[in-house]
Chains A and B, each alone.
Chain A
């Protein structure tokens, strides 16, 4: 079945530096790729998503890139700030939300 692998499991970066989290998926029919941020003890919240007809999408300091040939997509956070500290989840779906396959999560730590 579909599988989504997410790396690294933990990422520690200096405040102000960039952070990159990568995910690979196995089902070439996947066409929707969201990223969710979950702060400690809180609910996951969508921060950015991308569909398969687009190669890159940007929203201020956050960007997502998609390589359909290699079947991987990445989250890029620039100029990291303390409030970026959280667990980030990637996911992939080939048509509906109940078909979302989730990555295991990346704990991002921003060092002051």
Chain B
């Protein structure tokens, strides 16, 4: 059975840092394209980052230079390091697998709140 389980969320002050984890079971992260997608309260979905099976990473301008996606193959886990956090980064963060140019498996999501 495929499972993606996020952790590491919580309350952080503006300018602070947080690292999210996504532990995967049922497939190997280093053979797949793994993504982070976020959803601000009451808002739509925003793609945040991707790590390809070959290790290449990409980000939208809204988080480029502040967020870093990585993975630990031995733990079958994907991470999102979030630095210089802003109030507008407040959202539920989901990890998701890309297959057939779509996101077929998603985690349950983890809430990140940036507030003083």
Answer whether A and B are interacting partners: no
Chain B residues with a Cβ under 8 A of chain A: none
